[in-house]
Amino acid sequence: MPASLRHQPKAVYAVAFACVVSFMGIGLVDPILPALSSQLHAGPSQVSLLFTSYLVVTAIAMLARSAP
């Protein structure tokens, strides 16, 4: 591992960590969407909106976390 990778600003590590957590979260939310749909009696468009809003909130949180 080159020495330059170890000497990055903290924001780089914060964004990398947020990306990992985000992808883990997507992996947890995606498989439960059919169960949520049936329990909440929601249509496909409503479930898609739920998934999209989760992704938007995650993106905003990542941007807020990486802001100086």
The DSSP symbol for 41 reads T
Q: CA-to-CA distance for 29 and 23, rounded, in angstroms?
A: 10
Note whether 63 and 14 are within 8 A (CB): no
pLDDT at residue number 33:
84
pTM greater than the 0.85 cutoff: no
Q: CA-to-CA distance for 59 and 17, rounded, in angstroms?
A: 13
Domain extents in the chain:
10-66
pLDDT at residue number 66:
61
Per-residue pLDDT of the chain (68 residues; tens, 9 = 90+): 555 767 788 877 877 887 787 777 777 777 888 888 899 899 988 988 988 888 888 778 777 766 66
Tally Cβ neighbours within 10 Å of residue 45: 8
pLDDT at residue number 22:
73
